[in-house]
Amino acid sequence: MPELPEVETVRRGLAPVMEGQVIAHAAVNRPDLRWPFPPNMAQRLTGQRVLQLRRRSKYILADLDSGETLLVHLGMSGRMLISGDPLGQFVHNHPTPEKHDHVMLDMENGARITFNDPRRFGAMDLLPTAGQEQHKLLAGIGPEPLGNAFGPEVLRAAFTGRTAPVKSVLLDQHVVAGLGNIYVCETLYRAGIHPARQAGKVAAGRVAGLVPIIREVLEQAIQAGGSSLKDFRRADGELGYFQHNFDVYGREGDDCRSPGCTAKIRRIVQSGRSTFYCPSCQR
DNA sequence: ATGGGGGCCTGCCGGC
DNA sequence: TGCCGGCAGGCCCCCA
């Protein structure tokens, strides 16, 4: 589910009730998600102060004063919901544990953070804050698309000589961090690039042009609080609304929104995943 | 190295 | 109503 904008939306929602706060109690209701939890995870979380809540790619990272960092990935269906009323502004006051509530963090300020994930493609781990970039899941991830390390030369290098479809290369987290199925489709539509085109055959100017488009799509989606299809909720339980701004994703058979274009949006399957595009606007 | 496919899970929706 | 196939925002791992 969650791509960079959704994860960033969750992080922003959690930060006001988690940063600077002590985890008074952590409850872990099963031994694993996608992978086993680290040994004694509940004990290693309980009593720790959250110094900072960060995001790297699609991971949420909570630095603890124990010198460890809690890493959280939402997978396809993961949510982190706030309950309780620490700041006097949240609706969900009396939570009853629900199915698939796997981990709960009770903060000193009275907020409860519940990690719920029906499909359990999500993950949690604890890693040393120092040298965390060596962690298996973080090592080799490409630059943040909204950061200074990302630019035309990054894509140029990744695209050159590649016969894989441009869509696959943009989905590759080693190339650039945080893009998923939705935002790659939307990016390629705005760029006018056919998703099946071989990456190495995209003209240099169009490759460079992808950079500001990727940033624009992601920034607009963050501004909208992410996209809510089925599962995604912000940390306060509200829906994101960027799904109303999709040009192609999920719009198979609908009219292309480009002025003057009479084509219908198509869906194809690439590497087992749906791709939506306009056959007329994207070449 | 690179590209493609399988698999991990649950839930929902449409068709019969 | 119920069953079945297909589909879903991710990503590791294995194979050719």
A253-264: pLDDT as tens digits: 999 999 999 999
**Of residues A182, A19, A168, A26, the one with CA closest to residue A86:** A19
What is the pLDDT, as a whole number, of residue A35?
96
- Confidence tier at A97 by pLDDT (50, 70, 90): confident
Using CA atoms, how far apart are residues A86 and A216, in angstroms rounded to an integer? 34
pLDDT(A143) > 90: yes
Q: Chain B: nucleotides under 7 Å from a protein CB?
A: 2-12
Q: Which helix (H) or strand (E) holds A55?
A: strand A50-56
pLDDT(A92) > 70: no
Task: Quickly give A244 CA vs B13 C1' distance in Å.
Answer: 21
Task: Quickly give A72 CA vs C2 C1' distance in Å.
Answer: 38
Tell me the mean pLDDT in the region A228-235: 82
Q: Chain C: nucleotides under 7 Å from a protein CB?
A: 7-12
What is the pLDDT, as a whole number, of residue A232?
81
Task: Quickly give A13 CA vs B1 C1' distance in Å.
Answer: 41
> Start-end ranges of CATH 1.10.8.50 in chain A?
152-277
Identify the residue whose Cα has the smallest distance to the C1' of B3: A164
Query: Does nucleic acid strand B have an atom less than 7 angstroms from the CB of A197?
Result: no
pLDDT(A121) > 90: yes
> Start-end ranges of CATH 3.20.190.10 in chain A?
4-134
What is the pLDDT, as a whole number, of residue A229?
81
Query: Does nucleic acid strand C have an atom less than 7 angstroms from the CB of A76?
Result: yes
Q: Is residue A66 a contact partner of residue A127, using CB atoms and an 8 Å limit?
A: no
Query: Does nucleic acid strand C have an atom less than 7 angstroms from the CB of A8?
Result: no
Tell me the mean pLDDT in the region A58-83: 97
What is the pLDDT, as a whole number, of residue A1?
61
pLDDT(A88) > 70: no
Tell me the mean pLDDT in the region A8-34: 97
- The CA-based angle A118-A121-A123, given to 5 degrees, is 110
- The CA-based angle A225-A223-A108, given to 5 degrees, is 50
**Of residues A65, A27, A63, A2, the one with CA closest to residue A235:** A2
What is the pLDDT, as a whole number, of residue A29?
96
Task: Quickly give A213 CA vs B7 C1' distance in Å.
Answer: 33
Chain mean pLDDT for chain A: 94
pLDDT(A91) > 80: no
| Domain A4-134: assigned CATH number | 3.20.190.10
Nearest nucleotide from residue A200 CA, by C1' atom:
B2
What is the pLDDT, as a whole number, of residue A93?
57
CATH architecture group of domain A152-277:
Orthogonal Bundle (1.10)
Catalytically active residues of A are: 2-3, 58, 273
Tell me the mean pLDDT in the region A252-276: 95
What is the pLDDT, as a whole number, of residue A89?
54
pLDDT(A230) > 90: no
